[in-house]
Amino acid sequence: MKILRFLPLILKQVVRHRVRTLLTLGGIAIAMFLFTAVQAMQRGVTIATQATAADTNLVVYRKDRFCPATSQLPQDYTSRIQRIDGVASVIPVKVVVSNCRTSLDVVTFRGVPKDAFLEDRDDKLKVLSGSIEDWHRRTDAALIGETLANRRGLTPGMTFDAAGITTYVAGVIRSDEAQDQNVAYTALEFVQLAGRDQLGIVTQFNVQVDEPSQLEPVSAQIDALFETAQEPTSTYTEKAFVGKIADDIIELVGFARWLGLGCLVAVLALVGNAIVLSVQSRIAEHAILQTLGYTGRQVAGLIVAEGVVIALAGGAIGALAAVLAASFGSFALSVEGQSIPITAGPGLLASGLLICGALGVAAGLVPAWQATRHEIAACFRTV
């Protein structure tokens, strides 16, 4: 049976009971909005914490410290780390955050040596507006991640204040690295002196090794080198460091998976309820269709198709709303200066629609099977 030939009939049955259909669509849309939002958070956690075979970055932090305000390391560790075999580059970083607790609106300043930073990262950053030259020229200038710029409405030439630091926006950047999207890169000395005299003190060292296989050996050598120092270190791969800092967020997002599953159950129940009510009100009509020559399989196909249409319509509304909210809202979960982006795109929308379609089929199978088992004469007697 070519189901598209019967699409006008299916749509007519869907809109026949407008109030019931609208209420069902509303419930499905809300459930799919929540499900897609949970999926977007899970995707962000994966991007920020899942290691790949190509990772070559380490983070050297003060041992037994987590909040940037408490991690204080001498800047002169830079040269000692650089001499370790397998280390390609070392960048000292001073981190200042507007809020050390978990929040959706945190401004993270990262003070870096500009020349070393550009040499290490220039090919990985895409300048969307403004210029690198302007950033390099001004001491108080900042390169703003795209997520932070969109959320705060920042554009090149503007100044903004956060965490007691007032800076000039020299450019807006885009990067594939999750930690670059919600950050303001400024000169190291500027952040060290902004509101506090901490020249020579940094929060962490970002270390790049020559080969991924050297991550563990180099990490062990760095910690061994400073084991007896006044400021000992703990060294992690970048993704593992984010996972350790943001473990509460990761656990919360993991728990949210149950919310997502509950949303799918709600969609199944809503579609199933709508189809059952629709079938019960059209018992005689189905008998007429069979009298006119429609087979039981064709009638069942019409019922299942009705469930798919309802599920896809409501799911499309909810999933699209969630994708647009995540895309234009520029949200990111931040804690202790680390960010987990909430990302959504066409792939997430497509997967949501695919799930809705499958739920629509599942919800329509039982009512369709029941409708085809009724005898035609008995159907007319129930009118």
Average pLDDT over residues 181-209: 85
Q: How far apart are CA 54 and CA 208, in angstroms?
A: 12
Residue 18 lies in a domain: yes
Quickly list H helices, the chain. 7-14, 18-49, 77-82, 114-121, 132-137, 146-152, 188-193, 215-225, 238-245, 247-280, 283-291, 296-329, 346-372, 376-381
Q: 88-92, 204-208, 212-216, 291-295: lowest mean pLDDT where?
A: 291-295
Say yes or no: 317 and 187 in one domain. no
Say yes or no: 295 and 335 in one domain. yes
Average pLDDT over residues 247-262: 78
Say yes or no: 221 and 253 in one domain. no
Question: Is residue 382 pLDDT above 60, yes or no?
Answer: no
Residue 57 lies in a domain: no
Residue 17 lies in a domain: yes
Q: In total, how many domains does the chain have?
A: 2
Cα–Cα nearest to 31, from 205, 369, 262: 262
Count of CB atoms within 10 A of residue 21's CB?
19
Say yes or no: 114 and 227 in one domain. yes
Which of 231, 264, 293 terminates a domain? The answer is: 231
Q: Give me the pLDDT at residue 220, please.
A: 93
Residue 54 lies in a domain: no
Say yes or no: 83 and 213 in one domain. yes
Q: Give me the pLDDT at residue 79, please.
A: 92
Average pLDDT over residues 48-68: 81
The strand pair at 108-112 and 183-187 is best described as: parallel
The band of 370, judged by pLDDT with boundaries at 50, 70 and 90, is low
Say yes or no: 81 and 220 in one domain. yes
Q: How far apart are CA 324 and CA 343, in angstroms?
A: 10
Average pLDDT over residues 161-175: 88
Say yes or no: 17 and 133 in one domain. no
The band of 281, judged by pLDDT with boundaries at 50, 70 and 90, is low
Which of 201, 231, 261 terminates a domain? The answer is: 231
Question: What letter does residue 123 receive in the DSSP assignment?
Answer: G
Per-residue model confidence as pLDDT tens digits over 137-159: 898 999 998 888 888 888 999 99
Say yes or no: 143 and 98 in one domain. yes
CA 153, 157, 161, 165 torsion: positive or negative?
positive
Per-residue model confidence as pLDDT tens digits over 14-37: 677 778 778 888 888 999 999 988
Say yes or no: 140 and 22 in one domain. no
Per-residue model confidence as pLDDT tens digits over 114-126: 988 888 876 778 8
Domain range spanning residue 91?
Answer: 64-231
Residue 242 lies in a domain: no
Say yes or no: 192 and 261 in one domain. no
Say yes or no: 169 and 308 in one domain. no
Residue 239 lies in a domain: no
Which of 231, 263, 281 terminates a domain? The answer is: 231
- Comparing 99 with 350, which gets the higher pLDDT? 350
Say yes or no: 35 and 128 in one domain. no
Q: Are the C-beta atoms of 76 and 248 separated by less than 8 Å?
A: no
Q: How far apart are CA 13 and CA 29, in angstroms?
A: 20
Residue 58 lies in a domain: no
Q: Is 5 exposed, middle or buried (0-12, 13-18, 19+ CB in 10 A)?
A: exposed
Report residue 39 as tokens.
């999926």
Report residue 44 as tokens.
């962000």
For residue 307, the one-letter residue type is: G
Residue 177 lies in a domain: yes
